[in-house]
Amino acid sequence: MQASILSAPPARAVLRSRARVGARGGRRASIAVRAAAAVPPPPGSENWSESTQAVHNGERGGRPRVSDSLTTPVCMTSTYWFKDTEELIDYQEGNYGSFEYGRYGNPTTKACEEKIRLLEGGEDCLLSSSGMNSAICMLLALVPANGHIVTTTDCYRRTRQFVQTFMPKMGVTCTVLDPSDYDGLEKALDEHDCSLYFSESPTNPYLRCVDIERIAKLCKPKGCLVCIDGTFATPVNLKALKHGADLVIHSASKYFGGHNDVLAGAIVGDKETVTKVRQFHNILGGVIDPHAAYMVMRGIKTLQLRVERHNENAMKLATVLEKHPMIEKVHYPGLPSHPDHEVAKKYMNGFGGVVSFEVKGDLWATAKFIDNCRLPYIAPSLGGVESLIEQPTVVSYWDQGPEKRAAIGIKDNLVRMACGIEDYADIEADIIQALDSIKNGVEAPTKATSA
């Protein structure tokens, strides 16, 4: 009884407490109603037919608040509406924020663009449907007819294909240099009215790295823009804008998305230059789907964690492979033996998740090695959580024939390994057992039609 008396609050305290709870409860209830209640129908809609109400009710008069959602909503719309002509004119004059039409922008896409912009340290970002769309929009928007481009020998095949086969139709000429040929760059700048220097860093598939500051110092006085494709590096490992590049582009399908389940591209740089690309993109199209933009945005949230693991796995694998008797050469910028190791150390925080290496054997011995790998998927691409392995001769250049492949430096025994985030011990064990399987050589299949 004594304990009961001591623990019971005074009557007045109970009433005050109930009053406070009631007030808070009422406020919470009103907030809940305001946030979740159905939107009232527009005036006069009670006279609409049932089919018309089914189209408009719940949306036409306004929508429930979505800003409280923890995740960014996916805005699935192809167009945007204005409440009256005055609001539309305000939009046209830049006084009202909207997108007008889906090809010109999307709230979900904008949120993703802002995330990428901040990671790269740029003033603006344009997200598009693929990395190639970003590259082509950039080239067509910034290189004038009869202009001149400087690019590097080692690069993604489709980029090379566009520069060398399509752009000449516009009278655009091109100087192709070894990534470390800075004297050649200076000569090209002196001899041509160069509009653009464009290179990957690291490059594909030999992972060459360019001296961005040196390139920028050569290009800027000549009015030549510098664009770096940072797909293999990601802004976790390299921030090219910080070192003098005007633009950075990415295949966001790779490390940004991070799960091999989305196609996207991004271009980041100063506001004026990105706006030029955006204006052309508004005409060309190549618009990213809002759900794809959301997938990229979600992937970026774990980019730092994943890239650290990619870096670690690739560095360990490259070190082991360089000592293996069945490997002729390893191409990885983190190794002192790489021709651009000092450049990579100067600019990169980590050396990326891709390792390229040459197997001691011919095309078919290399193919057998790949076929005997059990952990990585045989597939193009990179940057996902799963390890991927490929033989560039077969995946990307099979239609070129041995002579053309040799001319562009693609060796039949070259392998590109995109390390995932699996446990490193499992990756190493699988690669070693696959190398062991080809020690005694292998014969070419009888049905081979190429090479």
For 232-290, the DSSP string reads TTHHHH--GGGGT-SEEEEETTTTTT-SS----EEEEE-HHHHHHHHHHHHHH--PPPH
Strand partners for 268: 125, 248
Please list the pLDDT of the chain residue by residue as tens digits (451 residues): 344 333 444 544 444 544 454 545 554 444 444 444 455 667 788 888 988 887 887 777 666 777 788 999 999 999 999 989 999 999 999 999 999 999 999 999 999 999 999 999 999 999 999 999 999 999 999 999 999 999 999 888 889 889 999 999 999 999 999 999 999 999 999 999 999 999 999 999 999 999 999 999 999 999 999 999 999 999 999 999 999 999 999 999 999 999 999 999 999 999 999 999 999 999 999 999 999 999 999 999 999 999 999 999 999 999 999 999 999 999 999 999 999 999 999 999 999 999 999 999 999 999 999 999 999 999 999 999 999 999 999 988 888 888 888 888 889 999 999 999 999 999 999 999 999 999 876 555 554 444 4
H-run or E-run covering 89: helix 85-92
Q: Which of 240, 254, 261 lies closest to 197 in space, CA to CA? A: 240
SS3 407: helix
For residue 123, count other CB atoms closer than 10 A to its CB: 15
In this structure, what are the phi and psi dihedrals at residue 377, rounded to the nearest 5 degrees? -75, 145
pLDDT of residue 67: 78
320-352: burial string, b at 16+ Cβ within 10 Å, e else: bbbebebbeebbbbbbeebbbbebbeebbebbb
CA distances (Å), origin 247, targets 214, 296, 302, 400, 420:
16, 20, 24, 32, 28
Placement of tokens 């598009």 in the chain: 128
Which residues have CB under 8 Å from 396's CB, separation 6+? Answer: 157, 380, 390, 410
pLDDT of residue 226: 98
Helices and strands counted in the chain (H then E):
18, 12
Placement of tokens 């052309």 in the chain: 280
pTM for this entry: 0.87
d(CA 227, CA 196): 7
Query: What's the one-letter identity of residue 64?
Result: P
Which residues have CB under 8 Å from 304's CB, separation 6+? Answer: 236
Report yes or no: 77 and 106 within 8 Å, Cβ to Cβ: yes
pLDDT of residue 44: 82
pLDDT of residue 39: 55
CA distances (Å), origin 237, targets 117, 222, 277, 383:
15, 29, 25, 13
pLDDT of residue 451: 41
For residue 250, count other CB atoms closer than 10 A to its CB: 31
Report yes or no: 353 and 383 within 8 Å, Cβ to Cβ: yes
d(CA 136, CA 227): 12
Instruction: Give Cα 145 to chain centroid, integer Å.
Output: 29
